[in-house]
A and B are shown apart, each in its own frame.
Chain A
């Protein structure tokens, strides 16, 4: 356990060191830059905002984590997020209920939207054995164009200068207290549910088993295709939920590029977290710290905030590579120790 934490921390530090070298080469002061980065995102008044911004990252990250840990290579989070956001927006445009009903209703719509889109990929695999790895990627592009069409034509806000929908009903806006957006509560609930399913339920045990060794679990009586469908739908729903919350907590309407890079960041978070649910939460928050802080960094030190995107990818590569490297390193040490014991 300690060793695992050490590997992650060392990997992140190495990535920061590389980032510092890049900054030094370009004539920036890395210490000040990093200080501003963390100051902007972790100052007492700011931390609630950073937490709120971590919601889509953690949710898409959990979607990817659960999928990767259970076998299906669902890379469709970007498309599923958009479809979830679109369905929640449509619900908010045409229906108005009291907030206590409206918010759960829109969240369910968002999850339906995501699950619908991952369901397409799941059925293509189930019926025709088409690899979800490529179909989800293609469906991402299709969802991108489809939602863009939707905000250009049927749900276009008249008189707007660029493609966007009108505001959703006020009752569907996630309540906000200062910098703290209540979407964080939804995220924590989702985290608790997913953690429980994966770690404490029979279904979760079967998923993890199939993820480790599909043949073994089938011989042990696990219904692989049913589990595959359930995992795909669940992970789609998680990504869709992220999309719905982005709309309901943020601009309260569907604007162009609303999905941003959340979903791909989520995939990276899942990878760096080795598909662990708790680590996904930790790294999701950490990535949010970096992204939120990058705004302050750019304001004060003039280092472009795009540097953070590079840093994130470097963190993923170094931490994952380091993990493998350290594991073989420690295994070698262990083997050597045992050998010595035998000789002695």
Chain B
């Protein structure tokens, strides 16, 4: 029983940052932007989240700073890809490497350390106990006592789903990706929609970043996003942006991650750490085989 509980809780914890970033990616996907900068935005969010929490000794400031940090990256993306019309792929790669360099530089300049910075002054984001529910055996241990960000992620999934499919903005968002010329001729600037989708993506990836440095662990280390942005990109591509699908895929990745930790008893940790990346490859494989079948019919 404890093992299963551990697996489920591990699944939720590892799925959270991937899901948040992928929801951000979903918005830009619908807007027709090839956004591969989630990795950099998340990393920037993680750094600024730690910074805010450290200086103000408060986790809400941490979350605010994380979101601002990620939006900063989104604004740079907007400047180059939307305003200067630079190739989105190059902008994304450049921005990701810029984020790695800038966070490493600031870590060194501000805290005089290399590699990682941890301090008791950094206030982590609290876990929330839900009254009544927490007393239910088993279910209570899953539904209650999770990090605040986990609950926010749940809300974000529903909100993004609603935003994309049930609102006017969502309709315009999808139109921007589907046929931007017709959106432009109908009097709505596709570029403005794109800008907003990128800023919202910044908000979501910022939350993901704050979960990395203030929830998952309470420290910042160089390159701590560790490919999660890329996995979230794979998730977005796999389900063509659908938020519900993204949630399921992220949980699946989270599960494999937890499974990897569980397998550490019998395998060297280097192999178990590979599991989420191998799972991504397997998911891509299943996706492409399914696509092929569809095409042959």
Contact = CB atoms under 8 A, between A and B. Distances in A.
Specify whether A and B are partners: yes
B94 interface: yes
B102 interface: yes
B284 A130 contact: yes
A138 interface: yes
Contacts of B244: none
B277 interface: yes
Contact of B271 (A73, A145, A268, A324): A145
A268 B97 contact: yes
B266 interface: no
B44 interface: no
B100 interface: yes
Contact of B270 (A128, A146, A304, A316): A146
Nearest to A151: B270
B138 interface: no
B84 A138 contact: no
Contacts, number: 113
A317 interface: yes
A321 B105 contact: no
B223 to A, nearest CB: 10
A8 to B, nearest CB: 15
Interface string A131-159: 10011011111100110110011000000
Contacts of A309: 97, 100-101, 104-105
Interface string B136-159: 000000000000000000000000
A316 B94 contact: yes
Contacts of A137: 227, 230
Interface in A256-310: 264, 267-268, 271, 304, 306-307, 309-310
Chain B residues touching A, majority SS: helix
B108 A306 contact: yes
A13 interface: no
B188 interface: no
B94 A271 contact: yes
A155 to B, nearest CB: 13
A260 B20 CA distance: 29
B208 to A, nearest CB: 18
Given A128-B288, A141-B227, A312 B108 contact: no
A148 B270 contact: yes
B268 A314 contact: no
Contacts of B98: 310, 313-314, 317
A134 B94 contact: no
A313 B277 contact: no
Given A129-B292, A149-B268, A320 B90 contact: yes
Nearest to A128: B288
Contact of B94 (A26, A138, A268, A304): A268
B56 interface: no
A69 to B, nearest CB: 14
B90 A141 contact: no
Highest count of chain A CB atoms <10 Å: which of B91, B97, B109, B227 = B97
B233 interface: yes
Interface string B266-297: 00101101100110110011001101100000
Interface string B246-272: 000000000000000000000010110
A211 B105 CA distance: 36
B237 interface: yes
A149 B281 contact: no
B284 A135 contact: yes
A216 interface: no
Contacts of A264: 97
Nearest to B101: A309
B93 A268 contact: yes
Given A152-B270, A316-B94, A324 B108 contact: no
B84 A325 contact: yes
Given A134-B233, A137-B230, A138-B280, A267 B93 contact: yes
A306 B101 contact: yes
B97 A312 contact: yes
Contacts of A310: 98, 101-102, 105
Contacts of A129: 288, 291-292
Contacts of A135: 281, 284
Nearest to A317: B94
A317 B288 contact: no
Listed from nearest, the 4 A-B pairs whose CB atoms lie closest are A309-B101, A313-B98, A149-B270, A306-B105
21 contacts: A124-B285, A128-B289, A129-B288, A135-B281, A135-B284, A137-B230, A138-B227, A138-B278, A138-B281, A141-B227, A142-B274, A145-B270, A152-B270, A304-B108, A307-B105, A310-B98, A310-B105, A313-B95, A313-B98, A317-B98, A324-B85
Given A137-B227, A306-B108, 20 more contacts: A124-B281, A129-B292, A131-B284, A134-B230, A135-B284, A138-B280, A138-B281, A146-B274, A153-B268, A268-B93, A271-B93, A304-B105, A306-B105, A312-B97, A313-B95, A317-B95, A317-B98, A321-B80, A321-B86, A324-B87
